[in-house]
Amino acid sequence: MTDTAAPRTPTAPSNELATPPTTAPNTAPASGTRTVLGTCHHDCPDSCGWVVTVDDNAEGETGAAPVAVKLRGNPDHPYSAGELCPKVNRFLDRVYSPERLLYPLRRTGPKGSGEFERVSWDDALAEIAENLHRVIDEHGAEAVLPYSDAGNQSLLSLMGLSGRFFGHMGATKLVRAICGVTVGAGMSKTMGSPRGLDPMEHEHSKLMILWGTNTRLTNRHLWPTIEKARANGARLIVIDPILCKWPAW
């Protein structure tokens, strides 16, 4: 089971790792706290389960308010089995970080200089609209290329600027995805179908081929299933031009 940051207040996030929880998710929480079950929102098919401890009486700049003080993987999740990826292990640090972006910023220096100034939402939207009109007037509407995808699966990421807006503008049309459609095309070319096997079923495989993937490090929830298959006698073949940290066999 993987834990995240230690308990914190919204104004003073801690970089200290939390100690592993000693209670199951359904155990009654301490007085003033409650346990909330959730699912990771990142654009990842693992859909890992979360167990979040919430302090309903945490003190912040505006007084007492509910604050998430601990986040860990749900050991009852059938696939991730309580393990979270490094990106999510520090999730609460990012949520309560004083460096989190909350307002529009305008770059005032050269790219890479980190020089920005805060502007109002009205000024930010007006400047964006002005630049869109300038590009359309000079080069036509197809010079505008909308590019975004699921990201953190939020409404802002998925529907912040809808296709109807860009369609009315006459902007260039784009699939607006870089992972799912390419994987589907690759599987269709090699397997005849974009559909894959339920990852929970891989442990029953007799032959597994990992081609151009560092699965042990970048697909950490699939690796235990591969280990189960190997324990059942499956043969594992790795084809990779890059020397990765594979265990000896």
pTM summary value: 0.64
| Cα gap 68→50, rounded to integer Å | 12
pLDDT surpasses 70 at 121: yes
Question: Looking at the structure, do residues 204 and 171 belong to the same domain, yes or no?
Answer: no
Q: Which residue has the higher pLDDT, 232 or 217?
A: 232
pLDDT band, very low/low/confident/very high, at 246 (cuts 50, 70, 90): low
Which of residues 50, 83, 99 is at a domain's end?
99
Domain that holds residue 161: 140-191
Q: Which residue has the higher pLDDT, 205 or 218?
A: 205
Question: Looking at the structure, do residues 219 and 131 belong to the same domain, yes or no?
Answer: no
Residues 55-106 have pLDDT tens digits of: 988 766 656 788 899 999 999 998 888 888 888 888 999 888 988 889 999 9
| Cα gap 9→147, rounded to integer Å | 36
Question: Looking at the structure, do residues 178 and 152 belong to the same domain, yes or no?
Answer: yes
Please identify which residue in the block is written with the tokens 């459609």.
181
Closest CA to 145 of 175, 106, 107: 175
| Cα gap 46→229, rounded to integer Å | 19
- What tokens does 170 get? 């006459």
Which of residues 99, 128, 159 is at a domain's end?
99
| Cα gap 2→19, rounded to integer Å | 9
Q: Which residue has the higher pLDDT, 70 or 242?
A: 70
Residues 6-58 have pLDDT tens digits of: 334 333 333 333 333 333 344 445 568 899 999 888 878 888 999 999 998 87
Which of residues 68, 99, 130 is at a domain's end?
99
